[in-house]
């Protein structure tokens, strides 16, 4: 996304809060007008005390009261302006973060799989914070700066046209300098933002997998990778800061030329009697106030370059193609029997690398279907397609005769209970994690589900039982305990269809035998898909699908497949050869 497109997108967010914007501009105008009026009062005081013995104390006192009133009104106006700017900025930031998070919720899994979590987090957190800082500075200083420049020109013209002409002639040079540097800084800040996201992604990955890093002595390689990214971040940051830091001294140099020109020309006019000493003092004050906004605006331009670079990254995330939208007349699955059919399904993660081709499967309600095969044959991919985490490239998948692309994703997934090999627990209490699928569940129902999954005994041993707070991804719980909680979560919901993808891979053999019995009870009358490497866990399955290279090469129950002495028999014998 280019700079102009990004700026246009920002303006659309600002448009929503035009009342705050109007109030900010109005109070900025009041603040600037009164600030510019102050030098006039100062000049009048100087003219009243210019001669010895001829001081108009009564006039001076009246002007001092007026100056105090002006100062109070200026302070109040500035406070209101800052309140409006803050409310406008952080509401815009809130809108952007909400929109970004909502977009993440509907992004296809292929985007999440292709981007590191840390990089996505960096866009939503760090980049939006940088954008907020630049936007706030822009609102606070840009409006007042522009109004100050226009106001001082008006006041100076009312005093003396010739001296004002000196100011106007030198002004374009300041704009030229600031504009030239601004073009350089945008590219550097964009590169800095991208590199910072890459660094955040590496840190998140290394911290989240520190045990693996240490177990394989990968510390030195991780440090070397971090140093390499850090050096690139240092290089682009230094260049960005260098170019941006040139703006202020360059514009200050131009501003000093303006001030010097006003001082010389104004002094000559004062000597000839063209203007009074008080008016000259007022003019010098205006010249200083006129040039000061250029320094502020140059700083704002630098920050805006950084803000726009960060905004471009977050807008790129927001504009990512979402998952295929549901049709307007999408059906809500209700009273599901559990009849599942896959007809001539083709699917591949990468277009030029085929994975599943012409896959056909018919599952009757209540059947237990086991899927076995070597690693990478497409077992988990079938589960992803059933849950519609990915859409098929060709063919269709039906539940109770309805194409799953014609039903709502929420109702489809709500009718599946899923336990994966990789557990996921959120930060919160044990109970919070169990009731994720049924928030309204009573304590008795939660305890019954935990007893059924054999998780109740270890939960009661925790410090606060079901109210024990655990950290992200289970904190100090063992992998087996985390998997028991995930099983309990499904036991509580008991949907009409179940998916168990290596659901007992991290559980000891004794507990596994108990859970298999609980699963057997739970699966009665429910269509179940079981992915397993340990073939001892699927002997009781009604149908066993043996997959290889994305195709079903054998199909039948345990005894039938053993008698065929095919691929399944070889897999089984390799595990129980003794």
- Residue 311: the pLDDT is 83
Q: Is residue 213 part of a domain?
A: yes
Instruction: Specify the residue for token string 């292709």.
Output: 114
Residue at which a domain ends, from 270, 285, 318: 318
Q: Is residue 380 part of a domain?
A: yes
Residue at which a domain ends, from 284, 318, 352: 318
Judging by DSSP bridges, how do beta strands 368-372 and 543-548 pair with one another? Answer: parallel
**What is the pLDDT of the chain when averaged over all its residues?**
80
Instruction: Specify the residue for token string 């129950």.
Output: 557
Same domain, 304 and 371: no
The shares of helix, strand and coil residues in the chain, as percent rounded to the nearest 5, are: 65, 10, 20
SS (H, E, C) 471-487: CHHHCCCCHHHHHHHHH
The residues, any chain, with a CB within 8 Å of residue 478's CB and separated by 6 or more, are 506
Element housing 3 (H / E): helix 3-15
Q: Highest mean pLDDT range out of 50-54, 228-232, 555-559?
A: 228-232
Quote the CA–CA distance of 115 and 107 in Å, as a whole number: 12
- Residue 172: the pLDDT is 67
Same domain, 461 and 504: yes
Same domain, 411 and 272: no
- Residue 239: the pLDDT is 80
Instruction: Specify the residue for token string 């000891």.
Output: 508
- Residue 257: the pLDDT is 73
Q: What is the pLDDT of residues 122-134, one digit of tens each?
A: 788 888 888 887 7
How many of the other CB atoms lie within 10 Å of CB of 264?
A: 12
| Sign of the four-CA dihedral 94, 96, 98, 104 | negative
Instruction: Please check the confidence at residue 383 and state whether its pLDDT lies above 70.
Output: yes
Q: What is the CA radius of gyration of the chain?
A: 35
Element housing 347 (H / E): strand 340-347
Instruction: Please check the confidence at residue 214 and state whether its pLDDT lies above 80.
Output: no
Same domain, 13 and 110: yes
Q: What is the pLDDT of residues 235-250, one digit of tens each?
A: 888 887 787 777 667 7
Instruction: Please check the confidence at residue 333 and state whether its pLDDT lies above 80.
Output: yes
Q: What is the pLDDT of residues 410-449, one digit of tens each?
A: 888 888 888 877 778 888 889 988 998 888 889 999 999 8
Quote the CA–CA distance of 44 and 73 in Å, as a whole number: 20
Q: What is the pLDDT of residues 82-114, one digit of tens each?
A: 888 888 888 888 888 888 888 888 888 778 777
Quote the CA–CA distance of 539 and 32 in Å, as a whole number: 83
Q: For the chain, what is the domain count?
A: 2
The model's pTM is 0.62
Same domain, 392 and 263: no
Q: Is residue 327 part of a domain?
A: no
Residue at which a domain ends, from 257, 284, 318: 318
Instruction: Please check the confidence at residue 403 and state whether its pLDDT lies above 80.
Output: yes
C-alpha distances in angstroms, 232 versus 57, 192, 239, 311? 66, 9, 11, 21
Same domain, 270 and 377: no
Same domain, 311 and 401: no
Same domain, 287 and 363: no
Confidence of residue 76 (pLDDT cuts 50, 70, 90): very high
Confidence of residue 398 (pLDDT cuts 50, 70, 90): very high
C-alpha 485: how far from chain center: 29
Average pLDDT over residues 275-303: 69
Give me the CATH number covering residue 478.
Answer: 3.40.50.300
DSSP state of 326: P
- Residue 299: the pLDDT is 63
Is residue 44 classed as helix, strand or coil in its secondary structure?
helix
Quote the CA–CA distance of 269 and 284 in Å, as a whole number: 13
Residue ranges making up the domain that contains 273: 3-318
SS (H, E, C) 404-426: HHHECHHHHHHCEEEECCCCCCC
Same domain, 286 and 171: yes
Instruction: Please check the confidence at residue 578 and state whether its pLDDT lies above 60.
Output: no
C-alpha 520: how far from chain center: 42
Quote the CA–CA distance of 431 and 115 in Å, as a whole number: 32
Same domain, 384 and 288: no
Same domain, 9 and 48: yes
Average pLDDT over residues 140-157: 76
Element housing 543 (H / E): strand 543-548
């Amino acid at each position: 996304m280019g700079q102009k497109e990004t700026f246009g997108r920002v303006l659309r967010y600002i448009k929503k809060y035009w009342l705050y914007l109007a109030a900010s501009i109005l109070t900025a105008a009041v603040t600037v007008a009164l600030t510019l009026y102050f030098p006039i009062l100062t000049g009048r005081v100087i003219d009243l005390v210019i001669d010895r013995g001829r001081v108009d104390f009564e006039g001076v006192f009246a002007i001092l009261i007026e100056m105090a009133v002006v100062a109070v009104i200026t302070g109040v106006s500035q406070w209101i302006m800052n309140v409006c700017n803050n409310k406008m900025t952080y509401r815009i930031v809130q809108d952007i973060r909400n929109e970004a998070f909502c977009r993440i919720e509907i992004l296809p899994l292929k985007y999440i799989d292709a981007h590191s979590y840390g990089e996505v987090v960096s866009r939503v957190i760090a980049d939006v914070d940088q954008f907020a800082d630049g936007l706030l500075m822009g609102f606070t200083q840009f409006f007042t700066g522009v109004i100050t420049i226009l106001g001082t020109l008006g006041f100076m013209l009312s005093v003396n046209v010739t001296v004002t002409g000196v100011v106007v002639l030198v002004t374009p040079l300041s704009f030229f300098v600031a504009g030239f540097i601004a073009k350089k800084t945008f590219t550097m800040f964009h590169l800095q933002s991208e590199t910072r996201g890459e660094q955040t992604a590496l840190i998140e990955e290394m911290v989240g997998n520190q045990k693996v890093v240490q177990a394989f002595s990968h510390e030195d390689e991780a440090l070397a990778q971090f140093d390499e990214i850090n050096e690139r971040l240092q290089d682009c940051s230094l260049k960005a800061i260098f170019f941006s830091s040139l703006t202020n001294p360059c514009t200050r140099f131009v501003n000093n030329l303006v001030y010097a020109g006003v001082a010389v020309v104004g002094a000559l006019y004062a000597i000839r009697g063209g203007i009074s000493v008080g008016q000259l003092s007022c003019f010098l004050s205006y010249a200083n106030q006129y040039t000061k906004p250029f320094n502020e605006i140059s700083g704002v331009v630098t920050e805006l370059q950084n803000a726009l670079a960060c905004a471009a990254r977050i807008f790129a995330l927001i504009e990512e193609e979402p998952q295929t939208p549901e049709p307007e007349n999408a059906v809500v699955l209700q009273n599901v029997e559990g009849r599942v059919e896959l007809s001539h399904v083709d699917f591949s993660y990468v277009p030029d690398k085929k994975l599943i081709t012409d896959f056909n499967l018919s599952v009757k309600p209540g059947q237990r279907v086991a899927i076995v095969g070597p690693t990478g044959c497409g077992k988990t991919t079938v589960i992803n397609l059933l849950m519609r985490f990915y859409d098929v490239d060709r063919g269709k998948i039906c539940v109770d005769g309805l194409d799953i692309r014609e039903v709502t994703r929420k109702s489809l997934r709500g009718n599946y209970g899923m336990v994966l090999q990789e557990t996921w627990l959120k930060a919160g209490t044990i109970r919070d994690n169990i009731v994720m699928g049924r928030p309204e569940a009573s304590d008795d129902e939660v305890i019954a589900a935990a007893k059924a999954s054999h998780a109740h005994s270890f939960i009661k041993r925790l410090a606060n039982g079901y109210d024990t707070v655990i950290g992200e991804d289970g904190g100090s719980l063992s992998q087996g305990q985390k998997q028991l909680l995930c099983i309990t979560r499904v036991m509580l919901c008991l949907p009409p269809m179940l998916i168990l993808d290596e659901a007992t891979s991290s559980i000891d053999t004794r507990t596994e035998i108990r859970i298999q019995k609980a699963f057997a009870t739970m699966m009665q009358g429910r269509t179940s898909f079981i992915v397993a490497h340990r073939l001892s866990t699927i002997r009781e399955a009604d149908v066993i699908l043996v997959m290889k290279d994305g195709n079903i090469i054998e199909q039948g129950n345990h005894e039938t497949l053993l008698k065929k002495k095919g691929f399944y028999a070889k897999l089984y014998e390799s595990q129980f050869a003794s």
